[in-house]
Amino acid sequence: MLVTILCVALLPFGFASINTTLLPSYEVNALRVIGRTLGKKWDFTEDPCVEWVKHNDTGDGREDVVLCNCDSNGTICHVTSISLKGQSLVGTLPPEFTNLPNLLNINLARNNISGTIPSEWGSMGQILNISLVANLLNGQIPKEIGNISTLKILNLEDNMLSGTIPKELGDFTSIERLLLTSNSFTGELPASLANLNTIIEFRVGGNDFSGNIPEYIGQWQSLKILSIQGSGLEGPIPSSITLLASLSDLRISDLKGPDMLFPPFGNTTLLNTLILRSCNLFGNLPDSLPNSLKVLDLSFNKLSGRIPDGFNDLKATNYIYLTRNSLSGSVPDWMLTSGKNIDLSYNDFTPINTSNLSCQIRETNLFASFEKDNISKKSKEVSCLGNVVCPTCK
Ligand SMILES: *[C@@H]1O[C@H](CO)[C@@H](O)[C@H](O)[C@H]1NC(C)=O
Ligand SMILES: *[C@@H]1O[C@H](CO)[C@@H](O)[C@H](O)[C@H]1NC(C)=O
Ligand SMILES: *[C@@H]1O[C@H](CO)[C@@H](O)[C@H](O)[C@H]1NC(C)=O
Ligand SMILES: *[C@@H]1O[C@H](CO)[C@@H](O)[C@H](O)[C@H]1NC(C)=O
Ligand SMILES: *[C@@H]1O[C@H](CO)[C@@H](O)[C@H](O)[C@H]1NC(C)=O
Ligand SMILES: *[C@@H]1O[C@H](CO)[C@@H](O)[C@H](O)[C@H]1NC(C)=O
Ligand SMILES: *[C@@H]1O[C@H](CO)[C@@H](O)[C@H](O)[C@H]1NC(C)=O
Ligand SMILES: *[C@@H]1O[C@H](CO)[C@@H](O)[C@H](O)[C@H]1NC(C)=O
Ligand SMILES: *[C@@H]1O[C@H](CO)[C@@H](O)[C@H](O)[C@H]1NC(C)=O
Ligand SMILES: *[C@@H]1O[C@H](CO)[C@@H](O)[C@H](O)[C@H]1NC(C)=O
């Protein structure tokens, strides 16, 4: 009762003190509720559109910026962007963001916001970006979110979200970045996501999904970045994915499912990072890979045979990880002289020089990389260690 009286008494004073704002009162009201729900100490004696931006706080992973768009004849303003990054904000997500009809950007990254994503947000008819990365959010993604046809970026990474991905997310007609890494999502990726043909970046690792990596990903012609590391999804990797022409960054790891041959890489001339780690790949390496690669990780597979001559084109690749395979034949000279970071450990190569078996030559790791280094043998002798027995090798 007392609280109500106080509020009634204080509110008119609050409005009077921002008599100069060109922000409609319903937007000021929305900001008050948003501030209260997130624990933001905004000063409403100042004009949010004029004064707040003057003491914005950016840098060091922090951001504290409210932006408005005011029409040129100076009659009215609207809030367009609220970015409150890295402020240790607690509290929950306010549904009242929907009362800011011109809002294009919500960024609440790296706070301690808990609770669920409000289903009301599905009615934001204009928003472009929502980033809630690194908070303490839980519950499911509300299916209503799929109604935001303008949304380009949805970043929900590093939360505690769970449940299945609603099939309504396949209704996103503008989505470019759908980032879901490091949550507790389950179930299969819905078939409706096949419709996301505007997508550029898709990341789903660090979850408990089930089922196969969907074939339809190979139809996303704009896709540049795909990350499926430790997602729970099963192989095989559809070869349509590795033929996508715009692909620059492909990261897949820890696949369950059947063994598969190395997938083809055709016109992927922009490929910069290729990680296919622990993907049950068996058989030979491909004759060549795009020479645009800067990072190549094929470790923890069952690849065998020689390193093909076509790999000579990878001299500009800065990191090459082939550890824990069954590769054989001689180690190409360039791998010992290039000075790049190359890990050939735990393979079955022919020794380079039987009277001098080095564990490392320049930046190339040769530990247990030779055929005689059968580390599953009881002796656990690794030739480059000489007579030293390696007790922890396994
Ligand atoms: C705005 O409020 C201030 C006091 O906060 C007052 O001095 C001023 O006259 C008011 N301006 C208008 C246009 O009402
Ligand atoms: C933040 O404030 C500074 C100094 O007033 C200003 O130059 C800058 O444009 C502001 N940044 C934003 C995003 O409004
Ligand atoms: C101000 O401009 C808007 C369009 O941006 C227009 O609708 C409105 O009538 C204008 N108001 C005045 C007072 O000129
Ligand atoms: C935010 O959460 C982290 C980890 O959960 C915790 O260490 C930190 O103290 C929290 N900060 C606040 C302001 O609650
Ligand atoms: C949306 O996010 C992108 C990438 O962070 C940024 O370049 C763009 O300016 C944002 N849009 C708005 C309206 O803030
Ligand atoms: C999506 O919006 C339409 C109207 O635009 C509405 O009829 C429908 O109920 C909404 N769906 C959800 C899941 O909110
Ligand atoms: C590579 O691109 C060329 C020209 O764009 C095209 O003719 C060819 O079919 C493509 N090859 C593959 C394997 O996609
Ligand atoms: C092999 O290593 C020994 C001892 O370091 C060295 O004397 C010999 O020249 C090396 N042989 C070749 C072919 O590099
Ligand atoms: C063995 O080869 C490595 C690299 O080629 C060299 O640095 C090292 O001195 C050699 N050891 C002996 C004993 O010749
Ligand atoms: C390694 O040793 C084990 C046990 O002696 C044997 O079964 C296996 O075939 C060997 N592997 C290779 C590549 O020699």
Q: Could you report the per-residue pLDDT of 197-217, keeping only the tens digit for each?
A: 999 999 999 999 999 999 999
pTM of the model: 0.86
Q: What integer best gives the mean pLDDT of the chain?
A: 90
- The per-residue DSSP string of 344-376 comes to --SS-BPPS-TT---SEETTEE-TT-BTT--TT
pLDDT tens, residue by residue, 1-52: 443 433 333 333 334 344 456 899 999 999 999 999 999 999 998 889 988 8
In this predicted structure, what is the pLDDT of residue 393?
Answer: 62
Angstrom CA distances, 366 to 51, 104, 290, 389, stand at 62, 52, 25, 16
Cα Rg of the chain, angstroms: 27
Query: What tokens were used for 82?
Result: 């609220």
347: nearest Cα among 295, 304, 381, 297: 304
Query: What tokens were used for 271?
Result: 């490929």
Residue 140 banded pLDDT, cuts 50, 70, 90: very high
In this predicted structure, what is the pLDDT of residue 162?
Answer: 98
User: Distance from CA of residue 209 to its chain's centroid?
Assistant: 16
Read off the pLDDT of each residue in 233-251 and give the average, rounded to a whole number.
95
Domains of the chain: which residue ranges? 10-292
Residue bearing the bigger pLDDT, 316 or 93: 93
- C-alpha of residue 28 to centroid of ligand 4, in Å: 29
Read off the pLDDT of each residue in 295-315 and give the average, rounded to a whole number.
95
In this predicted structure, what is the pLDDT of residue 374?
Answer: 61
17 lines ligand 1 (CB under 6 A): yes
Sheet of 114-115: strands edge to edge? 114-115, 136-139, 160-163, 184-187, 208-209
User: CATH fold of 10-292, please?
Assistant: 3.80.10
In this predicted structure, what is the pLDDT of residue 73?
Answer: 76
List ligand 6's pocket residues with C-beta within 6 A: 122, 143-144, 147, 168
| Burial (CB count within 10 angstroms: exposed 0-12, middle 13-18, buried 19+), residue 8 | exposed
What is the rounded CA–CA span in Å between residue 109 and residue 135? 7
In this predicted structure, what is the pLDDT of residue 12?
Answer: 36
Of 131-145, 155-169, 373-387, minimum mean pLDDT range? 373-387
Phi, psi at 215, each rounded to 5°: -60, -35
Residue bearing the bigger pLDDT, 257 or 57: 257
46 lines ligand 1 (CB under 6 A): no
In this predicted structure, what is the pLDDT of residue 5?
Answer: 39
Query: What tokens were used for 95?
Result: 């549904």
What is the rounded CA–CA span in Å between residue 158 and residue 206? 9
In this predicted structure, what is the pLDDT of residue 46?
Answer: 87
Query: What tokens were used for 350?
Result: 């022919």
- C-alpha of residue 148 to centroid of ligand 6, in Å: 9
Read off the pLDDT of each residue in 115-141 and give the average, rounded to a whole number.
97
Closest listed ligand to the CA of 87:
4
Read off the pLDDT of each residue in 280-295 and give the average, rounded to a whole number.
96
pLDDT tens, residue by residue, 355-380: 667 888 889 998 888 876 665 555 55
pLDDT tens, residue by residue, 377-391: 555 567 777 777 666
CB 190 within 8 A of CB 175: no
In this predicted structure, what is the pLDDT of residue 252?
Answer: 98
Share of the chain above pLDDT 90, in %: 72
